[in-house]
Structure 1
């Protein structure tokens, strides 16, 4: 008789979360296990030109559907920008934030459904019917809790303006999600965590991708209470971020850009944190003792997600942990 297959929940956001989610799906298919539930960050959502954008939701959806632009790392493959050019001619939107035509179709459909009264959870469920994703996607919350960046000079910007327009070059003092204290986990999120055998924290930005998910009241508590093992995957390899500007975000909250420091930031469940185990890159093997000293078991594996097979191998290592 085949042993029972693991029920898996993943917390994810961003390009790293998209690649890792693909790896998890491939790994579970090899095991003949049920599809995973992925709880997606919605902290970088925004309203622009009258439509609701959900960048992390769309990045993961497009990646699972096989229609994502793998060169740019966001948006749809083969997209055009005629509507975006017309918006710019009208002086609408943000000239530095490109909306592809196919991508804009997604945003228009989402906005129409939201205005009809559907919740973000229901909208994502409807979106998932278009393609055989092989993953159950849930937003972290149905509330709007966009991320704002408080700068050292006192200005406040939407995260997307700070990240995309200014490339994280303006010194941040703090990151905030207005309204998150009153938010609730989206339907099904805490139930999935409670019923899981393994919960995986993707190698996403710890501050602006995983951080908002954990900040939704009830989600971190669910992680501490679940009988599942909670395993994180380091987004830092060899003391450097793999992609994006996560190092700037970490510095702003007083966390060193190192695999061990991020593990300590999440904390051990035995010390009111959320982790049982932590996957370290081979390049950071020397810091394993520091992580173990914090009460978090370490597993050293290759963590470069160069293709889907490499991502699947990494996901398998996380499941084994």
Structure 2
């Protein structure tokens, strides 16, 4: 199963590379292969809805459909990431020992051995180096969200479309403010369960992202503001689901996660491996095993023995 997932990930990533290297505008591959079919669906939905607000409702409906289809995948991804973070918290004392060993290393060999122990700490305790992030899930989402974004950006009839009096072709400050509030709420819920040590590293980025998204909608069209608003509601729902599951996931990790190998075990293992490697690379010659006097006589071609023989004859 893992092998199949690995092959699927490689194929999807290669397909994404093929799409995104073919241009990003209306003449690019991603527009013709992904965004154009989505744009046609958007127009069909607008025709079915009808009325002056049809394009706006079509954007909301299509965005909601795509997000609903991807929500189980996103929630599953969030659970895996949370489990990985909880495991990391339990292993934090072991990682601190390894970091101390790296700092205390006096030779490049010792430093390399400590670094190898750090990598082994992940592997031996079954923790993903990517923090539980699935590259397959990310690779599937990228063309879908990009195609939906391009479809809305270039949708037919967008220039004259309105949504409850708000023009969808010009920027809308109200939409940007709502986007900011939604994504700030999502960032707040995500921060609730991040350890204090990690908050210093990720906190600034978590609060910066909502500001960046809101700023982007402020300089773009109201249609994109509507798209990010609906998408933000689903992102907030995902954060809420993860928040409700957090205690259950923590209980699961506490009951089932057992440290297989500690930092001390892995550091000793690396030291022993280095010692054995050095012993194997040392070449022992036969003469090194002989007594010193004998080996010197042999090295001088037996001259001392000859002198002693002539002395006895005399």
- Normalised TM-score (structure 1): 0.22
Greater helix share, structure number? 2
Greater strand share, structure number? 1
Q: Relative contact order: is structure 1 or structure 2 higher (C-alpha 8 Å, sep ≥ 6)?
A: 2
- Normalised TM-score (structure 2): 0.23
